[in-house]
Amino acid sequence: MTANTGTAVPTTTAFVRGHRRTGSDVQFIERTRQDAQQSMGKELQKLILTAPTSQQDLARTELAGFEQLFGRYLQETGPSVLWDKIKLLPEGGHLNRTHGTDVPLVLMNSFNTDEDTLKVLQRYGKLQLQIHTFNQSRYPRINRESLLPIGNSFTSDNTESWYPPGHGDVYQSLVNSGLLKQFLDSGKKYVFISNIDNLGATVDLNILNFLMEQEQPPEFVMEVTDKTRADVKGGTLVEYEGKLRLLEIAQVPKEHVDEFKSVSKFKIFNTNNLWISLDAIKRVTDDQSLHMEIIVNPKTLDNGVNVIQLETAVGAAIKSFEGAMGINVPRRRFLPVKTTSDLLIVMSNLYSLHTGALQMNPKRSFPQGPLVKLGSHFSKVKDYLSRFSSIPDMLELDHLTVSGDVTFGKNVSLKGTVIIIANHGDRIDIPAGALLENKIVSGNLRILDH
């Protein structure tokens, strides 16, 4: 049996997750799958009828995508890749005002972020810039035991019953919003997609010109960059059965995980900066040839119910497009800010803003930024900001670890490797103007205001 074919096994025996099955076993498994699919279909129809009449068409469209994803989840078993088939790739290598163009900014929200995003965008109403927003689909969380939705109403205010299904939903949601047709009708050819937290992701005219100059331009380009030890879990591009494929750690057999993490073997990773043909998106969504591996995300709700979310990743669709390729880009195009540790780096004198893009300070001796690990006292942005009277000088910093109740005075300089640890019940106040170079600070240091 070949994994991920999406078809029933026509033989009398099959191997499912490594176990040999008899013909009766296969029939039982297939009947169970059909029952689960039919039960889910009935529950989804009930949910659609709970939506207001004006929203039922939208609900039907969104849940059709979920039903298809759920069917694949029931059908597909075993690993999504066979390790021996993986081949490494060969070695290789503000916009509108400047160029008089009208490139729109498009933000994909979920039902969790839409309202807050619209509030923020009100501040930029006077800018000469088209800003579009659209929502990704809203899928029902599935009870892990019954394999049925935990919600009973499409309009329920109980947001725990629903989830946004990952950024792989961007393709169908772009179609459902009407924006794909609008952009195609206006003559647009490509969309540049990136994670909103990647502050290094800007429109690179070198890549755009490359696309436009090709006689047969690729339908899909993924920006990759050199892997460091901080990126060992990131997805990488490989060749698989003659096509480019994004290999994520979740797809790797356990016995090969250490091999996958090897910086010497898998040297690049996916930045999730993607250039995709709009015509091609229309084609693969129209003919339903878009295929992305299912990410099963288990969660336990506050009420103790165990649920699963079926998600997909946007880059996994690379194998569904013609002429897809990866381009190795400088590390500066991958600058994600997911934690306050990341935020400290970009707020410091290591970076400055030039024409809408963050650039590393040329006085920095090394091309990479420092490794920064801030403890739980800094995890919330409000707490993080309250602990710095000013952002330290970090131009010559290699490594910073801070744990416990620690505050920083004004004009502190950090160089080399600095470790600051305040044990439980202790507090450390780094005094204003302090220079810490290759230092370990621990214990208790309290500076009182006068």
Give the active site residue among 265, 338, 373, 380: 338
Distances (CA, A) of 69 to 64, 154, 158, 278, 286: 9, 18, 23, 23, 16
Retrieve residue 276's tokens: 């995709």
Is the CB of residue 383 less than 8 Å from the CB of residue 404? no
DSSP letter assigned to residue 328? E
Angle of the 23-49 helix axis to the 56-75 helix axis, nearest 10? 170
CB 348 within 8 A of CB 245: no
**Residue 338 catalytic?**
yes
Is-contact 277 130, C-beta < 8 A? Answer: no
Dist CA 159 CA 156 (whole Å): 7
Q: Are 136 and 110 in contact (CB under 8 A)?
A: yes
Q: How many CB atoms lie within 10 A of CB 70?
A: 23
Phi, then psi, of 190 in degrees rounded to 5: -130, 155
Sequence-ordered list of residues with C-beta below 8 angstroms from that of 149, at least 6 positions apart, any chain: 40, 43, 44, 47, 140, 141, 142, 143, 161
Name residues whose C-beta falls within 8 Å of residue 288's C-beta, 6 or more positions apart in sequence: none
Cα–Cα distance between 263 and 251 in angstroms, integer? 18
Q: CA-to-CA distance for 450 and 434, rounded, in angstroms?
A: 19
| Residue where the block lists tokens 């033989």 | 11
Which residue positions form the known binding site?
A: 167
Binding-site residue ranges for substrate: 167
Strands 131-135, 105-109: pairing is: parallel
Query: How far is 143 from 50, CA to CA, in rounded Å?
Result: 20
Please identify every residue annotated as catalytic. 338
